[in-house]
Structure 1
């Protein structure tokens, strides 16, 4: 219980001396808990009952291994956080109105890489005017998966038609980051 943090609480449901019994397994099943044994083995049919009930039994010889494993299990309970990762930026040099595709921004990639299907944000005078997804990326007339710094390309952000010469398109991805305690 001393391992509890603000994010994850550890509760010891039952502590006793001796082997791991069927009643320990039943208690763990009711509490949706795991069983931790220190220098002990499951007694009788406890092991098969645990398997049947889907209860994990972990056995240890060294106390530090118990602490490390419990911390890892606690971290596994934490949902990952989403962090925005900047990929690149492009300046809009020309705007093309295409009847089927909507507005295509003729751009020069000035930083990083522009990637199709990544998040896209249109900036005008430093302010975000539209946010969506880069759904079309072309290099000349060919579809491209990505275009790197120093190259020209055609970009459509969700087919949005409000893009203007002088705007900037910032491209990003959302990355899952595992939380720690």
Structure 2
């Protein structure tokens, strides 16, 4: 059980022992952590300890099958992990020509080298391998037709909303974000 978890959520065993869960076990849990959980394996709880645990909102659970205990601990650890945003690059393109730039709106042409660019997608502007800005693709054209998506290998025109002005030679990275 002590080996379960990862860098985001871990099990910390404050005390272990044999016999029924006692009043002392409940008091130790109260002194330890706000998220303390008393685990009993093939044991019960003393008649004094149970009302104290309920009164003080100390959680306790009992198991008699080891894999059920392990599954429950893994479930608790998953729910305790902080939510993280994971980004996946779904397409890259090189800007070949910037046609116009007004305030936060830029029109340019480019060539998709891998993946795809999608209308309303969030993109990064990369210059010399350094991210210099982010924006949103408001419109994409392929063969002078408005499209929702342009895929590699192809050339395209796009309208970008960004406070950063793109330049010829910049790389546009289209990415998706999801919370895990």
* Aligned ranges 1:134-145 → 2 under 5 Å: 134-139=135-140
SS in 2 for 1:30: helix
Between the aligned partners of 1:6 and 1:168, the Cα distance in structure 2 is 35
* Aligned ranges 1:27-176 → 2 under 5 Å: 27-32=28-33, 33-44=36-47, 46-74=49-77, 77=80, 79=82, 83-115=86-118, 116=120, 118-123=122-127, 127-139=128-140, 147-149=149-151, 150=154, 152-156=156-160, 158-164=162-168, 166-175=169-178
Q: What is the TM-score of this pair, normalised by structure 2?
A: 0.67
Shift, 1:87, TM fit: 1.0
Aligned length: 170
Between the aligned partners of 1:52 and 1:80, the Cα distance in structure 2 is 31
**Structure 1 unaligned runs (5+)?**
none
Q: What is the TM-score of this pair, normalised by structure 1?
A: 0.67
RMSD of the TM alignment (CA)?
A: 3.7
* Structure 1 residue corresponding to 2:18, chosen from 7, 16, 35: 16
With over 3 angstroms needed to count, the CA separation of the structure-2 counterparts of 1:90 and 1:38, relative to structure 1, is same
Shift, 1:37, TM fit: 0.9
Between the aligned partners of 2:159 and 2:176, the Cα distance in structure 1 is 16
Shift, 1:6, TM fit: 8.1
- Report if aligned partners of 1:97, 1:104 keep a CA contact under 8 Å in 2: yes
Between the aligned partners of 2:43 and 2:130, the Cα distance in structure 1 is 64
**Structure 2 unaligned runs (5+)?**
none
- Report if aligned partners of 1:13, 1:31 keep a CA contact under 8 Å in 2: no
Between the aligned partners of 1:45 and 1:117, the Cα distance in structure 2 is 60
